[in-house]
Structure 1
Amino acid sequence: MRPDRLVGVLAGYVHWDITVAWGYAMGAARHPDRPAIVDDDGVLTFAQVDRRTTRLANGLVGRGVRAGGKVAVLCRNHRGFVETMVACAKIGAHAVLLNTGLSASQLATVLREQEVAVVVADEEFTDLPPDVQRVTDVAELISEGAATPLPRRPPRGRLIVLTSGTTGAPKGARRPEPAGLSPAAALLSRIPLREGETIAVPAPLFHTWGLAAFQIGLVLGATLVLRRKFEPEVLLADVRERGCGAVFVVPVMLQRVLELADRDVPSLRVIASSGSALPPPVATRCLREFGPVLYNLYGSTEVSWVSIATPAELAEHPSTVGRPPRGTRLAILDEHGAPVPPGGTGRIFVANEMLFDGYTNGMGKEVRDGLMSTGDVGYRDGTGLLFVAGRDDEMIVSGGENVYPAEVEALLAGLDQVREAAVVGVPDEEFGQRLAAYVVCDRPGVLDPEAVRDHVRTHLARFSVPRDVVFLDALPRNATGKVLKRDLPPYPVRGET
């Protein structure tokens, strides 16, 4: 690095500490003309983002935002989202990242509970409470804001991410600020991203996975390609035209990309998937179509990451979620907190540098010996690979046997005629509980309920066979692609389908 640029990097660190604000100040010093963001409105360099976010920070101060205050972000993936997070860091404000799929009542509840001062929202989101101060034109606020330097070392602002809310109302989770670069080193120990490459990020930035892509991309000085709405054709066109080396997706996005006929993207080295369970057939097909480029990260908003599966591991065991990356401790514990031997199923606990600091309502997750519960159950095989059996609150007891719906879901997803499937436990007078399967086929009438049951009966124990089979046109999902099981239609009475 040239001496003058090193001085700029050190000056940015002195001013902003290790925050996203320093990330762009460092980029402005090292490679000012390198594209930082490519979106639907064009290209911004690192120097431009650094200058624009100073103006935006001053503009937010003019709207009454102070250190310790909260700014909510209700935006699609574009420059305004990133610039708002950076501007908040420059004044020590907390950024509350709102899920774009929230209902009007959920939005009102979250904004009230978080005591938000200002909402930066895209124009399409009109269901905000009338008493909330709203900013819809970030570019206008930037043009109005002064370029006046901001105070050095403001208080650390937090990034507050909402839980997915698949089983209830979303909760605010306080994301920790990295104390150094070791969290990035942990991910890079299993995912071979490169400095300065171009990364496409269709995964929502308000979600932990999209946010992780932004943060590690910033560490690497990467060019981030963002689009307001995900379209598989546009994503592949961006990869080809921009020479993207990596993309960050959620599994449902990968499924849609695999449905396209033209998938020639020679520059692509890494497809990083996370956010929900990756169906084994999707993993196998991706490796067949794109080569050894697929990496699957298992984690959550609360624990950040647990493990990462590499292409070689997925090729041999498509259902694995891999191994813990550098600096991560993993344990499989029984109901008493004792370690479970290899092959035995138990609750998954993990420790790393990015465990969340608790929910904003004061609640937290169970912790044992410094390890935090993921809320999932699973097992490790003799080689140390981790497999997730499902959520610990989704396990049912049918006729005295423990049954995990996720195992049946993975089996059904492997049928050629099935696009996706969801399995839930329902009450049963004879066995206490039984399974009901909701299946989406590639075309109507290609399967009947008995064919579904026969397939499960052939491969799994009899208590795993779904008594009820319901065919749907699509599964209900949230904005990050997770299936909303609470929104599935009522299961039929026995004998109906």
Structure 2
Amino acid sequence: MTLGALLSSLASDRPAITCNGRTITFAELDARASQVAHALVRDGVRPGDRVAVLTRNRTEWFELLFGAARAGAVLVGLNWRLAPPEIAAIAADAAPALVLAGSAERALLPSGFRVVDLDSDHEAWIAGLPTTPPAVPVAADDVVLQLYSSGTTGLPKGARLTHANLLFTPRMGATAYGMSAASVNLLASPLFHIGGTGYGLTTLGLGGHTILMSEVVPSAIAAAIEEHGVTHAFFVPAVVQMLLDAPPGPDLSSLQVIAYGGAPMTEALLKRAIGVLGCAFLGVYGMTETAGSVTALAPADHDRPELLRSVGRALPWHEVAVFDPVTGDPSPVGEVGEIRVRSGQNTVGYWNRPAETAATLTADGWLCTGDAAYADADGYLFLHDRIKDMIISGGENIYPAEVENAVAGAPGVADVAVIGVPSERWGETVKAVVVPADGATPTAEDVIAYARTRLARYKCPTSVDFVDALPRNASGKILKRTLRAPYWP
């Protein structure tokens, strides 16, 4: 099975995607995906070539995904929230044969790429082309999607996902999320994330109706739930918080299951959400490299207070275990180690990153997540800390090394460390701890403004502390646990 074959099996007059007031059926999606595939072939895109997309959420994203799948191409998701230099770096790494961009996002691209404007050129680009798939051989183990996430050094890494990886998502939807062809799924996460495209394929892959939000506006999300009778949704905790804080009004009683993940959910927020919204909640854990969720905390598990901090147990088709990251031996019950995953969902590796691929994928098939956790006797996983110093703010992964590299160049900065501190709205937010240069008196405003010229706004510090020296161990490594201690009980 391939993504293109899956779509062919679903072609009907049932609604597939609704976005910005427009609904297309599965038959229309099937036909338009084939037209995209023919347009790619006509324009010289060969099997294995990268085709990049830079746009906010829109129906055309899925037309391009399935179209690229039928043309044997690899769709590359570009994060429009990044600063232009960051987008340029990722685009240079992916080297796409073609870029499809929204009119507003097109301005973020560097010159030198062939671009199809999704707002002004897309319809003409596919007009008159066949509505049946082109004769391009495609296999289940071909790479079809490449999504980027920063590494611990701040360098972007393109995780390569195959048709076979992504075709677990409908199974995930049916088994973990309780979805079916009758489900109406609200998708608000950005499609350049696995929590967007991967989660979107759950209901879509089962023949259900997807309500695609172009942006996260709590009032619009609530209105869409009522208008379309939404049964399922996935939200990062920050969006759950926003939804609870939005003015009351819309009827949300159609909701059956809200899945949450992408960042830790506090017990207080989770209990409030369960009490206010009255539907079932499903906690999930996964990553781009695993093509989505690998564990789930089932709705019934939420009745057990001792499990509310757990990310659940492995889904049936995965092996998920905790290992000593130094020895590689399995960790005993209750002992913290690194989460590792062995699954058909695991990435085949990073694009142009053989060393990082080798460090992530073991010879016997385990994927090293870099996340620390312990497992109880029943197999429930509890995230303990991060082996990597990653900060998760509003569902976005932020790596301190990248922010430190940017802030270190600010005038008057001699040394800097970046940590995550609690945020009521975003879960975590970025704090820079700065040692001023001799005789210099930089302000917090100066440091933040400098960072914003070099990084996406969500990665930039929201506060700055000034200190005489950073705490270090005997080998000179900054003791970030010491820096975080005053802010985390």
Query: Normalised by the size of structure 2, how large is the TM-score?
Result: 0.76
- Measured after TM superposition, the shift of residue 157 of structure 1 is 4.8
CA contact (8 A) 2:50 2:94 kept: yes
* Alpha-carbon distance in structure 1 between the residues aligned to 2:279 and 2:36: 42
Q: Deviations over 1:321-365 (max 9, x none)?
A: 011111211221222122222211111112111011111022311
Match of 1:67 in 2: 47
Q: What code does the residue aligned with 1:196 have?
A: A
Aligned partner (choices 337, 345, 353) of residue 344 of structure 2: 353
Instruction: For residue 163 of structure 2, give the secondary structure of its aligned residue in structure 1.
Output: coil
| In 2: Cα distance, 1:483 partner to 1:164 partner | 14
TM-aligned CA deviation for residue 303 of structure 1: 2.5
Q: Is residue 245–residue 267 contact of structure 1 (8 Å, CA) maintained in 2?
A: yes
2:437: which partner in 1?
none
Which of 218, 221, 226 is equivalent to 1:240?
226
Deviation of the 1:185 alpha carbon:
3.0
Judged with a 3 Å threshold, the aligned counterparts in structure 2 of structure 1 residues 210 and 183 are, in CA distance, closer, same or farther, namely closer
Structure 1 SS opposite 2:465: coil
Change over 3 Å in CA distance of 1:141–1:195 after alignment to 2:
same
Give matches, 1:323-362, under 5 Å: 323-334=313-324, 335-361=326-352, 362=354
Give the 5 Å matches for 1:46-445. Answer: 46-125=26-105, 126-137=107-118, 138-143=122-127, 145-147=129-131, 150-151=134-135, 153-154=137-138, 156-164=142-150, 168-178=154-164, 184-186=170-172, 188-262=174-248, 264-304=251-291, 305-315=293-303, 316=305, 317-334=307-324, 335-361=326-352, 362=354, 363-364=356-357, 365-367=360-362, 369-394=364-389, 438-440=421-423
Name the SS of the counterpart of 1:491 in structure 2.
Answer: strand
Select between 339-348 and 360-369 the one with higher mean Cα deviation: 360-369
The answer as to whether partners of 1:158 and 1:175 remain within 8 angstroms in 2 is yes
Q: Counterpart of 2:129 in structure 1: which amino acid?
A: G
Alignment partner of 1:387: what SS?
Answer: strand
Report the counterpart of residue 460 of structure 1 in structure 2.
none
> CA separation of 1:200/1:359 partners in 2, compared to 1, >3 Å: closer, same or farther?
same
Deviation larger for 224-233 or 487-496: 487-496
Deviations 1:127-149 (A, max 9, x none): 21221011113223222534475
In structure 1, the residue matched to 2:477 is: none
TM-aligned CA deviation for residue 182 of structure 1? 5.3
- Is residue 273–residue 294 contact of structure 1 (8 Å, CA) maintained in 2? yes
Contact 1:201 1:225 (8 Å CA) reproduced: yes
Distance in 2, matches of 1:149 and 1:178, equals 19
How far apart are 1:206 and its partner, in Å?
1.3
Q: Structure 2: how far apart are the matches of 1:54 and 1:186? A: 26
Partner of 1:220, secondary structure, is coil
Secondary structure class of the residue paired with 1:319: coil
C-alpha RMSD of the superposition: 3.5
User: 1:374-401 CA distances to partner (integer Å, 9 max, x unpaired)?
Assistant: 1011111233211001211339xxxxxx
Q: Does the 8 A contact of 1:166 with 1:482 survive in 2? A: no
Alignment CA distance shift 1:339-1:267 (3 Å) = same
2:482 counterpart residue number: none
Give the structure 2 partner of residue 450 of structure 1.
none
Task: Tell me by how many angstroms 1:93 deviates.
Answer: 0.9
* Distance in 2 separating the partners of 1:344 and 1:91: 47
Per-residue CA deviations over 1:32-88 (Å, capped at 9, x if unaligned) read: 211111011511111111112222222223332222221101121111111111111
Distance 1:166 1:336 in 2: 21
Letter in 1 for 2:237: P
> Aligned partners of 1:369 and 1:306: how far apart in 2?
18
Report the 3-state secondary structure (helix = DSSP H, G, I; strand = E; otherwise coil) of the residue aligned with 1:178.
helix
Secondary structure (helix, strand or coil) at the match of 1:37 reads strand
| CA distance, structure 2, for counterparts of residue 127 and residue 239 of structure 1 | 32
State the 1:282 CA deviation. Answer: 2.2
Task: Check whether the contact 1:248–1:272 (CA below 8 A) recurs between aligned residues.
Answer: yes
Label 1:166 to 1:101 Cα distance change in 2 as closer, same or farther (>3 A).
farther
Residue 165 to residue 38, structure 1, CA distance change in 2 (3 Å)? farther
Distance 1:154 1:306, change over 3 A: closer
The code of the aligned residue for 2:331 comes to V
In 2, are the aligned partners of 1:423 and 1:438 still within 8 Å (CA)? no
From 1, 10, 13, the counterpart of 1:27? 10
Structure 2: segments with no counterpart, 5+ residues? 405-416, 426-443, 470-485
- Cα distance change of structure 1 residues 149 and 175 upon mapping to structure 2, 3 Å threshold: closer
Does structure 2 retain, via aligned residues, the 8 Å contact 1:195–1:221? yes
- Residues 312-321 or 266-275, more deviating: 312-321
Letter in 2 for 1:491: D
Q: Tell me by how many angstroms 1:487 deviates.
A: 3.7
Corresponding residue SS for 1:326: coil
In structure 1, the gaps of 5 or more residues are 1-17, 396-404, 414-421, 427-433, 443-469
Alpha-carbon distance between aligned partners in 1 of 2:192 and 2:418, rounded to the nearest angstrom = 33
